[in-house]
Structure 1
Amino acid sequence: MLTTRPVGRGAAARKYDILTALGAHALAAGRSEQILALRLITLITARYNWGRDELTVGQREIARLWSVDERTVKREMAKLRGRGWLELLRAGARGRVAEYRLGIERLMQDTRPGWERVGPDFAHRLEETPADDKVVPLPLRGEVPPPDPSDGSEWSLARTVLHAEEPGLYASWIRALTRTGRAGGRLTLAAPSRFHAAYVETHLTARLLAACRAVDDGVTEIVLTVG
């Protein structure tokens, strides 16, 4: 996933990817979310220092840019910090404004549902794994509840194992997979989208198979479908 800072080689494309992801997210959301995202996009476009990877601007200037009062600026900046979309680098003091930088990992996580609406090429680019081909789980917001294994199926039990081993990976990619059937040793799982299915099939099939075989050695194959 796109988590590198938007500086250096390829920085221009990463900047546009961040803004596109945020815009697509906003366009599918309600009015208050759209306003918050538009304010951040405008602030980034107008005042973000990409060379230093920081935002240094006073509340009065932000209020003028957003056409609001400073009380609204305080409230909206607090929302952005609370979400992790902005990270405080240095608090403001007398004669010195606060310094922030983009919380890229959190912003990418929160906007992920809208990536495929931009296009499969865009989603694929943002989901590319690091060079060592290891899957990097996303940061979590709060605890991820464990799955319910009460039906006793091999997939429910395997999900429990996977959750215990790596809850971030489980929350990002595994939780959404549902069991649709079993024929002999072939277990069929459904993903919520074509992209999700392709990503899991490419990067996680061996891991899912190992977890399933740990609870039922009769499973010999995992098949991904969309449904």
Structure 2
Amino acid sequence: MIVTQPVGRYAASRKYDVLTALGAYALAQEKGMQRLVLRLLTLITARYNWKADELVVGRREMARLWCVDERTVKRETAKLRAMGWLEVKRPGVRGRITSYALRLDRVLEDTRMAWGNVGEDFEARMGMSTGEAPQQGSVVPFPGAAKPTPPDLTRGDVWSLALGLLYSEDAQSYGAWLRALSVHQTTGDRLLLMAPSRFHAHYVQTHLLDRVTRAVRSVEPELGRVALLYPGAEG
């Protein structure tokens, strides 16, 4: 899908089209997703810099805008990142707020199912604006290259949101190694994950643990450590 940023002569109408697509999608979803998309819509309308493709808003300001606490802000932004709708453009450090970019390609791909609810004219216009190829294309996808099914983010717990982030970063590693892990226990600042076998646990420990730990910390900074277990090693 080819998506250009909404700049130039028709920028204003394109912005409204994106917001309309988000609103129509939200109205077709269950209550939890409706609330999440409404929060994103409000954030985009109030603070998104379309020209710079940048959203720079502090966690405290987001909490005030959304009428929630900062812990909820962390969870909701992690969920939006896991969905692939937001991505970190510039990480926050001491004295500098995290900068996010809106992934228009992913937003439009995910909201496509609701375009027809707005009207045939809107659906046709959105299809043209994204450079959509005809449905009768001759390209046949190679079965082995198919992406695994993304994780369920509706639970909103730390591990499911961390899995969403890991999926958005590397779907193949997620499918081969990470989706088979489950939460065994959370103790203090440590998240203990259960792997299906000793070999599986060793591979993740050796090759993917740093990535997993970063994803978990991104969702819940208080969890600073991640460890692996396998059946028979619970003691």
Scaled by the length of structure 2, the TM-score of the pair is 0.56
Q: How does 1:73-84 map to 2 (within 5 A)?
A: 73-84=73-84
The one-letter code sitting in structure 1 at the alignment partner of 2:140 is: L
Change (3 A) 1:130 1:26: closer
Q: CA deviation at 1:9?
A: 2.1
Instruction: Tell me which stretches of 4 or more aligned residues in structure 1 moved more than 4 Å.
Output: none
Task: Identify which range, 35-44 or 3-12, moves more after superposition.
Answer: 3-12
Change (3 A) 1:65 1:123: same
Match of 1:61 in 2: 61
Q: CA deviation at 1:163?
A: 2.9
Cα distance in 2 between the residues matched to 1:36 and 1:136: 32
| Alignment counterpart, residue 164 of structure 1, candidates 136, 142, 160 | 142
Report how many aligned residue pairs link the two structures: 144
> Deviations along 1:78-130, whole A, 9 cap, x unmatched?
00011111111001111100001110000001100000010011000111177
Do the aligned partners of 2:54 and 2:100 also contact (CA within 8 Å) in 1? yes
Q: If you compute each CA radius of gyration, which structure gives the higher value, 1 or 2?
A: 1
Instruction: Give the RMSD, CA atoms, in angstroms.
Output: 2.7
Change (3 A) 1:117 1:92: same
Scaled by the length of structure 1, the TM-score of the pair is 0.58
Q: Which runs of 5+ in 1 are unaligned?
A: 138-158, 169-227
Q: Does 1:70 align with 2:48?
A: no
Change (3 A) 1:17 1:126: same
Match of 1:10 in 2: 10
Change (3 A) 1:25 1:76: same
Q: CA deviation at 1:2?
A: 6.7
The one-letter code sitting in structure 2 at the alignment partner of 1:116 is: G
The one-letter code sitting in structure 1 at the alignment partner of 2:29 is: A
Change (3 A) 1:68 1:48: same
Q: Does 1:29 align with 2:29?
A: yes
Do the aligned partners of 1:25 and 1:114 also contact (CA within 8 Å) in 2? yes
Match of 1:93 in 2: 93
Instruction: Tell me the percent identity.
Output: 57
